[in-house]
Amino acid sequence: MQDIQREAGLSAGVIYLYFKSKNEIILGIANQILATIGGIIPERPVIDGEVLNLPDIIRMFLGAAEELHREEEIFPLAIQIWAEAVRDPVMLASLRESIADVKRHVRRLLEDCQTRGLVQADADLDGLTMAIIGLGQGFIVQRTLLGESARSPYLAGIDALLANVTAA
């Protein structure tokens, strides 16, 4: 709370005029981050007239999250928020709602990919949506714990995974 007060340039009393508790501040930050991430997911797998494949879409999604991290250093904060949510049922419920918005964005994108033949017609889009979000969460954890050096091998691993699944 002292870091928040110092960064905001406000006293403890003033902060509590806007937020009832530390958890409410954390929830506000978490919801803002998830809304931003949801907003970076394109509606369609076409950018500047070029149709993207699934690895490119995942790379773009992770790159946008990484750009947000460069601007706001969100990765360590995301891990702390997830840890708090495990202990706080109110926070967990709120995060689930925000993640549901991200899931809707990803699902809509996958539906358009499926229509364009970029995803198999019989693919489990709910499962694929969760896997893509899980890749994002894994990326956040590995980049936080292992640093910048984790980026290239992680992206190469995604490419290899998708190439091997497609070939099977």
User: Regarding predicted confidence, which is higher, 54 or 96?
Assistant: 96
What pLDDT shows up at residue 166?
54
The yes-or-no verdict on residue 38 having pLDDT over 60 is: yes
Cα–Cα distances in angstroms (integers) from residue 155 to residues 22, 29, 61, 75, 110, in the given order: 35, 27, 11, 17, 19
The yes-or-no verdict on residue 168 having pLDDT over 50 is: no
**Section 13-30 average pLDDT:** 78
Q: State pTM to two decimals.
A: 0.79
For 21-167, the fitting CATH number among 2.60.120.200, 1.10.357.10, 3.40.1260.10, 1.10.1040.10 is 1.10.357.10
The percent of residues in the chain predicted with pLDDT above 90, rounded, is 20
What pLDDT shows up at residue 4?
67
The yes-or-no verdict on residue 153 having pLDDT over 90 is: yes
What pLDDT shows up at residue 47?
67
**Section 128-149 average pLDDT:** 92
